[in-house]
Structure 1
Amino acid sequence: MTTVNFKQARGPDKLRIFAIGDVHGRLDLLKEMYRLIQAENEKTPPFDWVIVHLGDYTDRGPDSKGVLDFLVEAQRRNHRIVGLAGNHDVGLIDFIETGDPAGIFALNGGRQTALSYGIDIDFRNARSVAEGHRALVAAMPPAHLAFLRGLARSITFGDFFFCHAGIRPGVELSRQDAEDLIWIRSQFLNDARLYPKVIVHGHTPATNVEIRPNRVNLDTGAYASGRLSALMIDCAEKTLLEAR
């Protein structure tokens, strides 16, 4: 099996890639990141470009609705905006479909998401959960649901494989389990072997961007840290961007 490390890895010729870590409701940082990306493209115009979002647009931060409004509109205007699914995004859809009072949405920041739609849910109270579920179903625009349901689990460009959480070591990239791609942690993070592609991911908050020979972690805990991180890949050149 042919493997590649971060230093050797290259993006496709004539395509600049921007991979953005977990947003978690920080519309302010997302807008700033797009401003930084535009500035990079104006400074040295690429032949073509693409933005890859690594998932977790919702929960914990103050404006999940605003983030989804922004991304829906960005995709409408430009086909170069790619969204991948995070576990929190799947959790929001699960709550919409089931009203589960003990799922990831209820237990990990879903209250902030509901508040961004004008709905206050007390997840300790069964009646509040039931009423809040009905209200959130009514409040969510169809375009938000279509965006979330349409998110892919992974995408590949050049020597890089992009997903939310990571991969299952020892399993071919084309045969990865969809749940591993949005949930895996220790088995992936603790594995030092090289893969056929460098894995670019988020999911596990870190103080700073983690660059390893086999992976790059772009989750710098934006909702709490006030720092949203991205990786710009321009053929062999790799540059970090940070919105504050």
Structure 2
Amino acid sequence: MRKAVAAHSLSVGASTPADTRIYATGDIHGCADLLRDVIERIDDDVRRRPVPRAIEVYLGDYIDRGPHSRAVLDLLAVRLVANQAVCLRGNHEAVMEEFLRDPTLLPYWQQLGGMQTLASYGVEPREGNDTVAELHRRFLAAFPRTHELFLQCLRDRFSCGDFLFVHAGIRPGVPLDRQDPNDLIWIRDEFLDCTHDHGRFIVHGHTPVPHPDIRSNRLNIDTAAWRTGMLTCAAIEGSTILFL
């Protein structure tokens, strides 16, 4: 059952363009039921508070750990086409993409919750223990073309007004246009510990927090949905952030 994020708003020293609202959603990790709920809340909020331009941004880590990764990608593929949603690449998607190319990556992916993702596609080890190569073959056969296309549409970052949306963070001191894509999906302490102005207000996930973590230069909305049952969605308009 979903745990509601406290409905409150706050102001930050950054702003979206005029007549623009951004709905940013944190790490989903195979929790399709929570994603459906967030989508309903977004659609309801747009109906109640119409705005000329509403942008949905999903911050990555759609798969692994939770039980319904395939259903999550189904839902997001529809939002990407129907609502022009922005879907960022998380480190978990990057690892799955590597596994699709290289079956030897399976032991590493397993540590990140990859077996739950395989199971969501109907690929589970059979009695007699399938080889890694056989699991890889079965996963390729089960992986739909629509999901291949979805992965091709993933972005490393999205900028709007004074806000920059990334999965994990940025490398402090490196110009935004020279960031290493690996840092954008993997970085932790160097970014999290930095209090400097990055030139953009960073909205990110990747590092689980018990509740949305707002700092002077960033906002973390990864509330560990697969473990807590709380998937956070932040509605950002002007300089105001409202948690739906």
Q: TM-score by structure 2 length?
A: 0.91
Aligned residue number for residue 160 of structure 1 = 163
Q: Is 1:30 matched up with 2:35?
A: yes
Q: How does 1:158-237 map to 2 (within 5 A)?
A: 158-237=161-240
Q: Partners of 1:217 and 1:153 in 2: how far apart?
A: 17
Aligned residue number for residue 99 of structure 1 = 103
Q: TM-score by structure 1 length?
A: 0.91
Q: Partners of 1:168 and 1:112 in 2: how far apart?
A: 31
Could you tell me how far 1:76 is from its partner in structure 2?
2.3
Could you tell me how far 1:104 is from its partner in structure 2?
4.3
Q: Partners of 2:53 and 2:16 in 1: how far apart?
A: 12
Aligned residue number for residue 63 of structure 1 = 68
Aligned residue number for residue 87 of structure 1 = 91
Could you tell me how far 1:102 is from its partner in structure 2?
5.0
- The one-character-per-residue Cα deviations of 1:97-126 (angstroms, maximum 9, x if unpaired) are 10124564222100000000011148xx6x
Equivalent pair of 2:57/2:86 in contact (CA under 8 Å): yes
Could you tell me how far 1:142 is from its partner in structure 2?
1.1
**What stretches of structure 2 of length at least 5 have no aligned partner?**
1-10
Q: Partners of 1:106 and 1:150 in 2: how far apart?
A: 25
Equivalent pair of 1:114/1:121 in contact (CA under 8 Å): no
- DSSP 3-state at the match of 2:232: strand
- The one-character-per-residue Cα deviations of 1:146-198 (angstroms, maximum 9, x if unpaired) are 21132110010011000000000000111100000000000000111111101
Equivalent pair of 1:57/1:67 in contact (CA under 8 Å): yes
Taking only aligned residues, the RMSD between alpha carbons, in angstroms, comes to 1.4
Aligned residue number for residue 51 of structure 1 = 56
